[in-house]
Structure 1
Amino acid sequence: MATIDRQTPTLALAHALSAAERGLPVFPLSATKLPALRSPHHGEQPPVHCRGECGLPGHGVHDATTDPAAVRALFAAAPRATGYGIACGRVPHRLIGIDLDVDTTCGNDSAGALRQLALQHLFTIPPTVTVLTPSGGRHLWLTGPADVTVANSASRLAPGIDIRGSGGYLVGPGSVTAHGRYRLAPGTAHLTPAPCPRALLRLLTPPPHTPRTHGTGGGRGRRGEGLIQFVLAAHEGQRNTRLFWAACRAYEHGFGDALADELTAAAVRTGLPEHEARAAIASAARLTSGRGGEPL
């Protein structure tokens, strides 16, 4: 675990400025990997859905900038920042983050799953910037074309493979979190983000879902029932992961809010505390909607 001391904020700013010089929009993060600046609309009723139009800092990924003076101002307003986020989907790089997670409790082999996808769909991941995470996972940095928008997703491609695109962000190398330091993988520091292979890009941008409208409840009930059963089948050590995956799928298909209570009840039946279940579902809602961005 990395040590957080008085020099950590200074180093975080230095790393952020270096990234901004390379055209990567950045903003300060706390040791929890969340935006370090509190929303200026905190506590306002009704909730304000502002993405920085008010001109004040504190809008998470929407604060991200490449302007050195603006970066310094953001970090000056967040003196306890220990890292920085890099906004995905923004010009000039239009960054796409491929997160290969490590989850020994569920036996996920995300790197192996990506290799299998590459074999099935005939693409290779080119040499590119790779960031090692404190948990033992890795982030692959790719770039997307101007006419394609890649959405955030969690385990949609395969278990343990998360995607950060428009509205999401990556934790930048050099950042220090409560669990350790993010660092560039050996041999990748000199690289620039490589273009995303076209076959992989097609997997990341599936055709829009068209919900069924015929019959009672359309197709939503059947899909919802399958997700509920998926959660109910969870064993100890899988409960939170299965619930989060199911909630992400429900929100991606447009009926997450309608299914939230049933998903919560199913998770509670497996032994997961209700507050943990609702927190996992809320996290899935934020991730799939891009509200305020989510970290990698």
Structure 2
Amino acid sequence: MEAALDYATRGLAVGPLRGKRPLVDGGYKAFSSDVDTVRRWWQRYPGANIGARPGRGIVVLDIDIRNGGHETWQLITASFAVPETMAFMTGSGGWHLWFTVPYLAPLRSELVHRGSGIDIKHGGAGYVVMAPSVHPETGGLYVPHTWTDIAPLPKGLLQHVFKPLPRPTTPGRVVVHADDAGAGLVRFVAELADGNRNNGLYWAARRALDSGLDIEAQLSDAARAVGLADAEIIRTLASARTAARGTLVGGAA
């Protein structure tokens, strides 16, 4: 109970587990950071393991060393440095690494590909077992390894964490019909030169949103056709949406 209450006071939504299974109605989606609720749960289930649902904008990489997770991690992080972040060792000898993400977009359920040995947990899809819980199969403890601020997700992992945007049916070529809504904006993006692609996509996306045009898919195809990576497209379109919402709510962006 003491550990669960500590997590709750830090704003983390937690709930009691039997092994790894939630004990409360509604499952992990009912987990709470309300201290009184958490206290009642552990009075009802004393000694229960602790589950936690990562907050909005946070992902947890669950590295399972028994299923190749360590080898996958070594392979994909070989070319860049991984910052120190909040980390726990699991009861099976694996790792839970916590990171913030730079924008909100659809996330994968597994890092890189199915069977990589690294699951991705986030608020909309899953939860993690927290220290000092006991692993139901190995009997090992979940223990804190690095208790520090949650670091931003390294850029080298963005393409492995976020789902790729749909590929155009004709890669490298975008067909724009003159009578299509937003045809001029799509054509503008499709003709962008290297060095101005991000800014151009952002401008076109803002113009489309301000005009009430739903052409993100077409703009994405055009941006990809001129060489922008999926991660850059997702980030730029998300920035445009955020700025457009700010204009509607608070006046000039």
Asked whether 1:125 is paired with 2:82, we answer yes
Q: Who is 1:36 aligned against?
A: 23
Asked whether 1:116 is paired with 2:75, we answer yes
Change (3 A) 1:182 1:69: same
Change (3 A) 1:182 1:155: farther
Q: Is the 8 A contact 2:51 2:129 kept in 1?
A: yes
**Structure 1 residue 75: Cα displacement:** 2.9
Write the letter of the residue equivalent to 2:11: G
**Structure 1 residue 209: Cα displacement:** 4.9
Q: Is the 8 A contact 1:30 1:177 kept in 2?
A: no
Write the letter of the residue equivalent to 2:7: A
Distance 2:106 2:23 in 1: 27
Q: Who is 1:84 aligned against?
A: 50
Change (3 A) 1:155 1:116: closer
Q: Who is 2:11 aligned against?
A: 23
Distance 2:13 2:102 in 1: 17
Asked whether 1:148 is paired with 2:105, we answer yes
CA deviations over 1:18-74 (Å, ceiling 9, x no partner):
11122211111112x11023xxxxxxxxxxxxxxxxxxxx11111122111121233
What SS is found at the alignment partner of 1:153? coil
**Structure 1 residue 158: Cα displacement:** 5.9
Asked whether 1:98 is paired with 2:61, we answer yes
Q: Is the 8 A contact 1:30 1:81 kept in 2?
A: no
Q: Who is 2:40 aligned against?
A: 73
Asked whether 1:137 is paired with 2:87, we answer no
Distance 2:135 2:91 in 1: 8
Change (3 A) 1:174 1:155: farther
What is the alpha-carbon root mean square deviation over aligned residues? 2.6
**Normalising to structure 1: TM-score of the pair?**
0.50
Q: Who is 2:132 aligned against?
A: 174
CA deviations over 1:92-122 (Å, ceiling 9, x no partner):
xx3311111122xxxx542232122123xx4
What SS is found at the alignment partner of 1:176? coil
**Normalising to structure 2: TM-score of the pair?**
0.58
Q: Who is 1:159 aligned against?
A: 116
Q: Is the 8 A contact 2:112 2:160 kept in 1?
A: no
Change (3 A) 1:153 1:81: farther
**Structure 1 residue 145: Cα displacement:** 3.3
Query: Structure 1 unaligned runs (5+)?
Result: 1-12, 38-57, 213-296
Larger RCO (CA within 8 A; separation ≥ 6): 1
Percent of aligned pairs sharing the same letter: 30
Change (3 A) 1:62 1:81: farther
Q: Is the 8 A contact 2:87 2:98 kept in 1?
A: yes
Query: Structure 2 unaligned runs (5+)?
Result: 170-253
Q: Is the 8 A contact 1:129 1:192 kept in 2?
A: yes
What SS is found at the alignment partner of 1:164? strand
Distance 1:149 1:23 in 2: 24
Distance 1:204 1:192 in 2: 20
Change (3 A) 1:126 1:67: same
Distance 1:199 1:157 in 2: 19
Change (3 A) 1:64 1:145: farther
What SS is found at the alignment partner of 1:177? coil
